Every structure is written in structure tokens, then in C-alpha cells.
Structure 1
Amino acid sequence: MTALIALATTIGLALTLLTATAAPAAAADLLSQGKPVTSSSTENTSTPASAAVDGNTGTRWSSTFSDPQWLTVDLGATATISQVVLRWEAAYARSFRIQTSDNGTSWTTIHSTTTSTGGAQTLDVNGSGRYIRLYGTQRGTAYGYSLWEFQVYGSGEGTPPGSGIPDPTTVSLEATNGPLTTATYTVPSPSGYGSGTVTYPTASGSYPGIVLMPGYQGTQQNLQWLAPRLASWGFVVINVGTNTLTDDPESRGRQITAAGTQLLALGDAPGNPLSGKLNGTLGATGHSMGGGGVMAALRDDSRFRAGVPTAPYHPNGNFSGVTEPTFFLTCQSDAVAHGDRYAVPWYTSMSQAEKLYIEVPGDHLCPMTGYGNKAKQGKWMVSFFSLWLRADTRFSPFLCGPARDADKNDTSLVTRWMDTCQF
């Protein structure tokens, strides 16, 4: 009996020591919430792709009623992925794959099923990549694919979202060009818009795309100053000429969408300088009617994840449903499209979006090439797009922190500043 008690005591002590010294299992982080997301389609404007990663189980993404369909999340950095949670609405996928990618174009399947029954599904997986997508091949109902939430869990591997881009400073952001060497490419056969000149980083890697749209009677010259500045900070920028010089804002929104579509197609096609350069994420900026077109693109096309309308004009625009991050740049003495008439009411109505509003001295032309303070305007736009298209939080302080205060509080530079900080 004494021997048995001694043995039990020894075993108990050993178990206690094992328990005390064993490392706890690493907790997986939720990586997908609030990250840039794109989809093959959306059923309507009330069911955007972003609703699947907003953390709200009362909002959802839904696709059109056809196969196949996909939803892709840009995690912003390479990550080890250990679990995916799908919270389906009634319209679910019977057959689907979960896939990862380092570049947004070549995919590896880490989970596949042909017998899904929908509902809430927790999938234990083993994979890595910056991009992760749900790829549905067979619907479970006559409707499309619909997700309340698409949640991706795992751990980051330390690859910064701006890989190859040095830490930004006020001096570097206010310089005419950023750290990357760029080149230009003329789109040979524009589809759905008048003309296109693409400025892109020559370094290897894939980048977000940005569409530039001019204003009434405007040409590519309107925003020519901005294309190399953005591209040299890690964007592929298409500067667009319109179908006609008198296109209205809605038409310009459709042309922004068309230019974005062709830009992504060029990135997917071999044999041109843009092949492999696009990561699938899009943004847009435009002046005057082009700014109104940016708002229309954000409202109508879920592929556009952020927008910068400058001196925007759209006499009949209702953009209360826009949920993507939006930066309004307006001009204090603008007699054509004063912020109080257009941008401020839109800003106020967009209750679900992250927003920035900066009014600067000048007339309606202040955002155009040759006008206004391009060092400051460029710094703000590069920072905004880097934060919201590339999830690069190194740029956040220039919009929403101590580094912005010198600009915000300088009344000779900024006549009105509003934001939804902290972001």
C-alpha cells in the first residue's frame, strides 16, 4: 500500500511538472476583418463584398445567380492560415474550395468539398498566403452565394504590406516621386473609355490598381501630376481619357469601372509590361465630374475599395450607401462644386464609411496639374490609398495622428478638416 501511494505521488508530481512546463497552444488571430475584399459579382449595392468581413452578422455579401463565383480577401501580408469560418445565409455553396495565393493570381487549394449543407461551418485548414478566397463551383439553391461572414484565422509571418517600400516620412511623402522607379505603358485598345496611359512600378511584385478620371472638358493632363507620384509608392495607375469631353458623372463612373476591368485583365494577360503587376484591389480618384464618377464607382462596383473624389460634382448623386473609405479634397473658393453643396452632404450621409474631408485654398482647379500645393495633396493621397488599398498602417499617422497636426492646424494650408479618426 505504501508503495502504491508513493507511485501515485510520483506520477502526480510528474504530471504537474509536465503541465507547468508545457507551452500553451498559440491562439489564432482573426486576420480577415476589415481587410480589402473583392468578389466576382454582387447581387446589388446592399450586399457588397465588404459586408462579409465587417464583423457584423446582420450584413452579408451575395453574388449574382450563376456559377462559379468567388470572394477574395487581401490579408495585407503573408500569413499562416489555420482556420476558416463560413457563416452562410440561406443561399449557400454546395461545392466550393478555399484557396490561398501569394500574388492574387496563382492559387493553392487548402480545402475542398462537394457536399456542403451551409449554415455555420468551421474548417480547420493548413496553408499560407497573402490572399485567401472562397471559390464556389455549385450553388446549393437557385439563388447566388451569400455569406454573413467570411472569417480567416491564423498568424502573420512578418511580411510587411508595403514590401520593398521604405518607412514613409514627411519629407519623402512630400517629394515629387516616391522610392520606386516607374515606367509607362499606353493601353493599345481601350474598352469602354477613350484612352489610357498606365504608370507602374518596374520592381517585381503585384500592386493595387488606381484609376484617374478627369473633369468636364478634361483630358489626361488634368491629373497627370498624380500618376507617377502614386505609382512610385507602389500602385499601378491608369490615367484615363474619356469617351467625350462632355460625359456626365454617371458615364464617368461607368468608364472608371471599364478602365479598372481592363487594367486587371492586362495584369492577368501574358506578353505586356503589366502582366503579374495587379493584385486585384482597385481604387479611383477623379476631378469635378470625374470626382462624381468616383462616387458612382464606389456606389456601384464593389471591386473599388477606396476613392478620392477631388472638387467632386454630381448634381443628382445620392451616395449614402457608400461604405468604402473616401477622401474628399475640396477647394475653398470653388464656384462650380463647392464642398458645402456636394461633398459635405455626401460625407455626412455616409454613416458606414471611414471618411476624410480636407478643404484647401483655391478655386475649382486646385486639384489639377499645375494648381494647388501638390506636396501636401500628394502626401495625403498616397497615405490614404496606402492605408486602405494596401492595409499599410505605416501611413496612418499622416492622416490620423501627430504627423497630420502640422497640416490640419495650418489655416493657410487647410481651411476645413473632418475625419473619422482613429484609423
Structure 2
Amino acid sequence: MTALISLATTLGLALTLLAAAAPPAAAADLLSQGKPATSSSSENASTPASAAVDGNTGTRWSSTFGDPQWLGVDLGATATISRVVLRWEAAYARAFQIQTSDNGAAWTTIYSTTSGTGGVQTLDVNGTGRYVRFHGTQRGTAYGYSLWEFQVYGSGGGTSPGNEIPDPTTASLEATDGPLTTASYTVPNPTGYGSGTVTYPTNSGSYPGVVLMPGYQGTQQNLQWLAPRLASWGFVVINVGTNTLTDDPESRGRQITAAGTQLLALGNAAGNPLSGKLNGTLGAVGHSMGGGGVMAALRDDPRFRAGVPTAPYHPNANFSAVTEPTFFLTCQRDPVAHGNTYAMPWYNSMSQAEKLYIEVPGDHLCPMTGYGNKAKQGKWTVSFLSRWLRADTRFSPFLCGPVRDADKNDTSLVTRWMDTCPY
């Protein structure tokens, strides 16, 4: 008996030492938050795919009422997936799979069940891929599928969707064209707005969409300078003309929404050059009344995840409820829409948003084609939208920290700069 006790004690001590010596398992990183998300359908405009990866448990994705449905996220690079967390609203999945893919076309199932319970489901999985999706085949209720959050954990992944976008530099961002080749496409039947010209990367892969909206009496020419810059840095850009030249800011906001809707539809349809090019994330840039329209779109349409209102104009408007990242570009000598009158009060009221405010020399036309310092304006706009529409932190130094200080502290270039850095 004494010998057995001694042996048990020795074995127990050995196991304890082995456990102590074993290295701890590597902590899994949350890879999906803020990354581009797409889905088979959305119940309505207030429940987009992006709401399931925004880190906000008060927003959700929900599908239409039918089977099957899916929700996917682009991690930006191949990753090792170890855990998936599904935070369900009441409309959950009874039968579903978790699948991974290297190219977004061929899928491998790494988890499957026919007895889903809803609530918060934490799934230990083992797989690799750049793309991860939930694929529901049987609903648990009469409604669709609805997720507050779709969280993918593991190691690897990327800060951006890649698609041959190299690390940015000051020189490359200030150049007229970015690293990607682009082409243009005229929208054949604009719906809800006057006209549309799309500039898009010719590379394979999917990208965020950006709507450009002109100001009062303006046309597509107003922001034509920006379309190829953005597209060559990995965006699908629709430069729109309005229904009439005198449309007010609220109307322009609705037209931004309509253009975004049609842009996504073109990306989901076969037989046009935009097929497969859109990843479901949207942003907007507008000038003057178009800038006011950008603010209205951010306020009213949750599909728009970031906006750049330039010299924005919208009398008697309240945008304190806007929570999406917003970059205000204003003009120091603007007699029409000075920052002190519109943009600055809006900036100060948006307590829950990430923000950037830059005032530069010039009058009301300073953000338009042919006016102002387009190298700097382009660098800031590309960096802001890359950071917030692609979650690409490689562009953060050009907006926050020492790299941006050469711009921020140059009084001949910038007359006022505010931000919510770091981001």
C-alpha cells in the first residue's frame, strides 16, 4: 500500500510538472471585426451583412425569409480558424454549416449541425481560409436568419482584402493614380438618380463601393478627379449625376442610397464588368449639397459605413445620431458653407463617431476638380476610406501620429485639423 501511494504521488507530481512546463495555448485573435462582409440577402436596408461584423451588439444582419441563406466575411488573407461565435437574435438556425474558402468560390465545411439552439453559440473548429461563412439550410423560426454578431477567431488574416494593394507610402498616396489598373463603365439605366459612371479595379477580387455626389448645379465633373484615385486604391466608385441640378441635400442623400443600391445589384448580377467586384460595404463622398447628402445617407442608411462630406451644406440639420466614421474637409474662405456654420457643429455633436476634420485654404470650390491641393486631399481621402471601409490599418499613419504631422503642422496647407486619433 505504501508503495502504491508513493507511486501515485510520484506520477501526480510528474503530471503537475509536465502541465506546468507545457506552453500555454496561443490566444485566438478576433479576425472578422470590421472586415468586408457579404450575404445571400438582407431583410432590409437596416440589417446589412456588415452589421454582423461591426462589433456592435445593437446592430444585426437578417436575411429574407427563406432557405438556404449565407453570411460571409473576407479576412483579408489566409488564416487559421479555431473558433466561431454566433450571437443570434430570436431568428436562429436549426441546421447550418461553417465553411471556409481560399477564393470565395470553393467551400470546405469545418462545422455542421442539424440541432442549432440559438442564443450565443461558441464553436471550436479547425480550418484555414481567407473567407469564412455561415451557411444556413434550415431556419429555427418562420423568419429568416438574424445575427447580432458573427465572430471568427484564429491567427493570421490580414489588415485589408489585399487584392494586390501594396503598402502605402506618402509618395504613392500623393500620386495621381494608385497601384491598381482601372476601367470605367456607364450605368445603362440609372434608378433613383440621374446618371452614373463607375470606375473600378480590373484586378480580381471584391472591393468596397463608394458613391460620389456633386453639389448644387454640379455634375459628375465636380468630383471626377477623385474617382480614378479611389478606384486605383481598391474601391468601386460610382460618380453620379443628380435628377436635377437644384436637388436639395435630403434628395441627394436619397440618391446616394439609390446609387449604392444599384451598385451592389450590379455586383451581384452576371453579364456586366462589375459582377463579383462589390464586397457589400459602402461609403460616400459629396461636395456642398452633396456633402449634406452624404450626412443624410450616413444618418438614414446603415449600409454606408463611412463618409467624406466636403464643404458640406445642409441648413437646419441635426446629425448628432451619426455614428459612422466621418471626414469633414472644409475650405477656410468658404462664403457658402464655412466649417463654422455646418461641419464644425456636426463634428462636435457626433459623440460616438470616429472623426477627422481638416480645413484647407481656398473658397467653396476647394474640393472640386481643378481646385485645391489634390495630392494631399487624395491622400487623406484614400487613407480615411481605406481605414474604415477595408479596416486597413496600414493607412492609419497618414491620419494619426508622426507621419501625418508634416501635413497637420504646415499652416500653408492646413488651417485647422481635429481628429479622434488613434485609429
TM-score bin (small chain): 0.7 to 0.9
Alignment of 1:25 onto 2:29: no
1:276 deviates by 2.1
Give the superposition deviation at 1:221. Answer: 0.4
Task: Quickly say closer, same or farther: Cα 1:125–1:326, change in 2 above 3 A.
Answer: same
Output one character per residue of 1:355-383: Cα deviation in whole Å (capped at 9) or x when no partner: 10111111111100001110100000011
* Equivalence for 1:233: 233
Tell me whether 276-285 or 144-153 shows the greater mean CA deviation.
144-153
Classify the secondary structure of the residue corresponding to 1:384: helix
Residues 22 and 163 (structure 1), Cα distance of their counterparts in 2 relative to 1, 3 Å cut: farther
The structure-2 alpha-carbon separation of the partners of 1:202 and 1:56, relative to structure 1 and needing over 3 Å to count, comes to: closer
Output aligned runs, 1:14-413, within 5 Å: 15=15, 18-19=18-19, 22-36=22-36, 40-41=41-42, 52-53=52-53, 55=55, 59-61=58-60, 63=62, 66-67=65-66, 72-90=72-90, 92-94=92-94, 98-100=98-100, 110-111=110-111, 113=113, 115-134=115-134, 147-157=147-157, 161-413=161-413
Q: Any idea what SS the aligned residue of 2:383 has? A: helix
SS at match of 2:180: coil
Q: Aligned partners of 2:356 and 2:157: how far apart in 1? A: 31
CA distance in 1, matches of 2:223, 2:35: 28
Q: Secondary structure at the match of 1:279?
A: strand
Question: Which secondary structure does the structure 2 equivalent of 1:376 belong to?
Answer: helix
Is the 1:91–1:145 Cα contact (8 Å) retained in structure 2? yes
CA contact (8 A) 1:31 1:152 kept: yes
- CA-to-partner distance for each residue in 1:209-233, whole Å, 9 max, x for gaps? 1111111111110001001111111
**Compared CA separation, residues 379 and 62, structure 1 to 2 (3 A):** closer
Q: CA deviation at 1:192?
A: 1.8
Letter in structure 2 aligned against 1:332: Q
Q: 1: distance between equivalents of 2:170 and 2:179?
A: 13
**Alignment partners' CA distance in 2, 1:347 and 1:101:** 41
Three-state SS of the structure 1 residue aligned to 2:239 is strand
The 3 A distance-change label for structure 1 pair 18 and 62 is: closer
> Per-residue CA shift, 1:160-209, capped at 9, x if unaligned?
53341222111111111111221111122222221111111222222211
Q: What TM-score, normalized by structure 2, do the two folds share?
A: 0.87
Distance 2:158 2:55 in 1: 24
Look up the SS of the partner of 2:210 in the other structure. strand
SS at match of 1:413: coil
Residue 203 of structure 1 aligns to a residue whose secondary structure is coil
Does the CA contact (< 8 Å) of 1:84 and 1:123 recur in 2?
Answer: yes
Identity %: 85
State whether residues 159 and 393 of structure 2, in contact with CA within 8 Å, keep that contact through their aligned partners in structure 1: no
Q: CA deviation at 1:103?
A: 5.8
| Equivalent residues of 2:226, 2:378 under 8 A apart | yes
- Matched residues in 2 for 1:135 and 1:299: separation? 31
Change (3 A) 1:64 1:13: closer
User: Does the residue aligned with 1:294 lie in a helix, a strand or coil?
Assistant: helix
Contact preservation (8 Å) 1:249, 1:313: yes
Structure 1 position 255, deviation (Å): 1.5
Task: Write the letter of the residue equivalent to 1:360.
Answer: V
More deviation in 353-362 or 96-105?
96-105
Provide the C-alpha distance between the structure 2 equivalents of 1:23 and 1:194, rounded to a whole number of angstroms.
62
Aligned length: 421
Distance 1:133 1:192, change over 3 A: farther
Change (3 A) 1:300 1:115: farther
Q: Any idea what SS the aligned residue of 1:400 has?
A: coil
Deviation, structure 1 residue 24: 3.5
CA RMSD of aligned residues (A): 3.1
CA shift, 1:9, in A, is 7.7
- Contact 2:45 2:301 (C-alpha < 8 Å) held by counterparts: no
Whichever residue aligns with residue 381 of structure 1, its letter is T
Q: Does the aligned pair in 2 maintain the 1:42–1:49 contact within 8 Å?
A: no
For 1:222 and 1:190, how far apart are their aligned partners in 2?
A: 19
Check conservation: 1:295, 1:307, Cα contact below 8 A: yes
CA gap of 1:79–1:225, structure 2 versus 1, over 3 A, is: same
Kindly indicate whether the alpha-carbon contact (under 8 Å) linking 1:90 and 1:146 is maintained by their aligned counterparts in 2: yes
**Cα offset for 1:275?**
2.1
How many Å apart are 1:316 and its aligned residue?
A: 3.6
- Give the letter for the 1:336 counterpart: V
State the TM-score, normalized to the length of structure 1: 0.87
Distance (whole Å) between structure 2 residues aligned to residue 72 and residue 299 of structure 1 = 25
